Amino acid sequence: MWKCTNCHHVELGSVKPESCPLCGAEAEKLVLHEVPGIKGEKTLQNLKAGFVAESQANLRNLAFAMKAEQEGYPQMARLFRAVAEAEAVHAFHHLRLLGGISGTQENMESAFEKENLASNAYPGFIKEANEEDNPHVARIFGYSRDVERGHARLYSKALDHMVSDVDTEYYVCGICGYVSDGVLPDECPICGASKEKFRKVV
Ligand SMILES: [Fe+2]
Ligand SMILES: [Fe+2]
Ligand SMILES: [Zn+2]
Ligand SMILES: [Zn+2]
């Protein structure tokens, strides 16, 4: 497999891609990458598939738990959360074995790149949602487009301060995913939600 020295993306496969499929960096930025302790391409593919499936199961169960709470089934909600946590345990194992967890500095750089790439993907998604007459979907994609760039900024800001011990609190908008650092805003600057919609991250 191949690792992009620009964005840290890891691409499976024995044939070198012409450019990084994630950030588009030219082929010379891609270096041969071996995952220590893993032999063979199929096991790698399966680890990746397992990671995707377990991550989805984690999130789906958390969503089901929220619904169960709303419908007045706290016991079912607890069960969904318990299984969600178990799926996260599996997903963490897969990601670790894939070599997807580096040191914090590299993880921050890689998270920064991924946020930028995510925000670049959304204008196209919005256009296609509108072309197919799905304005409600376009609106939700718009939240991501407007917010991912801010996530990237938070990472780059934090990278600058990694050595100095700055203590920052973060508040997440439950409507659009905007992350505010340091202050709880009166109103979300992206979607206009009131401050009650924000959750402080512990
Ligand atoms: Fe699982
Ligand atoms: Fe993000
Ligand atoms: Zn790349
Ligand atoms: Zn918001």
Which residues have beta carbons under 5 A from ligand 2 (an ion)? 115, 148, 151
Distance 75 CA to ligand 1 centre (A): 21
Domain 41-97 top-level CATH class:
mainly alpha
Residues with Cβ–ion distance below 5 A, ligand 1:
54, 87, 90
Binned at pLDDT 50, 70 and 90, residue 40 comes out as confident
Reported confidence tier of residue 21, pLDDT bands at 50, 70, 90: confident
pLDDT in tens, 111-149: 998 898 888 899 999 999 999 999 999 999 999 999 999
80 pLDDT higher than 70: yes
Judging by beta carbons within 10 Å of its beta carbon (0-12, 13-18, 19+), is residue 87 exposed, middle or buried?
buried
Of the listed ligands, the closest to the CA of 115 is: 2
Q: Give residue 91 CA to ligand 1 midpoint distance, Å.
A: 7
Give the distance, in angstroms, between the CA of residue 129 and the centroid of all CA atoms in the same chain.
22
Q: Which fold has domain 167-202?
A: Rubrerythrin, domain 2 (2.20.28)
pLDDT of residue 8: 81
Q: ipTM beyond 0.85?
A: no
Instruction: State how far the Cα of 172 lies from the Cα of 165, in Å rounded to an integer.
Output: 22
pLDDT category of residue 163 using cuts at 50, 70 and 90 = low
Residue 114 Cα, ligand 2 centroid: separation in angstroms?
8
Ligand nearest to the CA of 142: 4
User: What are the residue ranges spanned by the domains of the chain?
Assistant: 2-32, 41-97, 102-159, 167-202
Condensed to tens digits (0 to 9), the pLDDT of residues 177-199 reads: 999 998 999 999 999 999 999 99
